[in-house]
Amino acid sequence: MTIRTTLSAGLAAMSLTAALGASTALADPVTVGLITTLSGGGAGLGVDIRDGFQLALSMSGSDAIHLVVEDDGQRPEQAVQIADRMIQSERAQILTGIVWSNLAMAVVPSATAQDVIYVSPNAGPSQLAGAGCTPNYFNAAYQNDTMHEASGAYANVLGYENTFIMAPNYPAGIDALTGFKRYFEGTLAGELFTQLGQTDFAAEIAQIRASGADSIFIFEPGGMGISFMRQYAQSGIDLPIISAAFSFSQDVLPAVGDAALGVINTAEWSPDMDNAANQAFVAGFQEAYGRLPSVYAAQAFDSANLILSALAAADINDLPAFRTAMRAADFDSVRGAFRFGNNQHPIQNYYAREVVSVDGVLTNRLVGTAFEDHQDVYAADCAME
Tens of pLDDT, residue by residue over 92-107, are: 999 999 999 999 999 9
Name which residue leads in pLDDT, 246 or 104: 104
Supply the pLDDT for residue 10: 41
Mean pLDDT (the chain, rounded)? 92
The three-state secondary structure class of 356 is strand
The three-state secondary structure class of 109 is helix
- The answer, yes or no, to whether residue 19 has pLDDT greater than 50, is no
DSSP string, 237-258: ----EEEEGGGGSTTTHHHHGG
Measuring CA to CA, how many Å separate 270 from each of 18, 266, 293, 317? Answer: 20, 9, 10, 36
pLDDT one-digit tens code per residue, 162-188 = 999 999 998 889 999 999 999 999 999
Provide the whole-model pTM: 0.90
DSSP string, 129-192: HTTT--TTEEESS--HHHHHHHHHHHHHHTT--EEEEEEESSHHHHHHHHHHHHH--SEEEEEE
- The answer, yes or no, to whether residue 142 has pLDDT greater than 70, is yes
Contact between residue 217 and residue 163 where contact means Cβ atoms under 8 Å apart? yes
First-to-last CA distance in the chain?
A: 42
